[in-house]
Amino acid sequence: MAKNNNHKTSLDMKSIALLAVRERGQIPWKPRKSFENYSKISEVEYAYNMARSTKYLFNDGVMNGKPDYQRIACELNKVYHCSKKVRDRYTVRNALYKYKKTLENC
């Protein structure tokens, strides 16, 4: 039985996608890291948790009850990127949209 060399595994595709992100000069989202006694959640998981917290929701106006992606982006930049402006509200919104879709498919 011959192997299909054109078939890529999901791990290969993920590696290719990360290389493409770096080639464009962008910074990939930080993945979950597991250590001996604890685990550090991924950047997008942290953003998701913040989006569900009342601290990061709008309190009034038309956006009342919706996530404040700008505040979430600032917090991500502070925690994961030493306060460098890496994430903005648009990248956070798009990443959370994709992340929520993956949760729905589980």
Percent of the chain at pLDDT exceeding 70: 90
The token duo for 60 is 């009034």
What domain range is 53 assigned to? 42-106
Q: Is residue 12 in some structural domain?
A: no
Cβ(46)–Cβ(59) under 8 Å? no
pTM over 0.85: no
Question: How far is residue 101 CA from its own chain's centroid?
Answer: 12
Q: Is residue 96 in some structural domain?
A: yes
The token duo for 97 is 């949209």
Q: Is residue 27 in some structural domain?
A: no
The answer for residues whose C-beta is within 8 angstroms of residue 85's C-beta and 6 or more apart is 77
Q: Is residue 36 in some structural domain?
A: no
Q: Is residue 102 in some structural domain?
A: yes
Q: Is residue 83 in some structural domain?
A: yes
Q: What is the pLDDT of residues 29-78, one digit of tens each?
A: 888 887 777 778 899 999 999 999 999 999 999 999 999 999 999 999 99
Alpha-carbon radius of gyration of the chain: 17
- Of the ranges 1-5, 64-68, 100-104, which is most confident? 64-68
Structural domains in the chain (count): 1
Q: Is residue 25 in some structural domain?
A: no
pLDDT surpasses 70 at 100: yes
Q: Is residue 51 in some structural domain?
A: yes
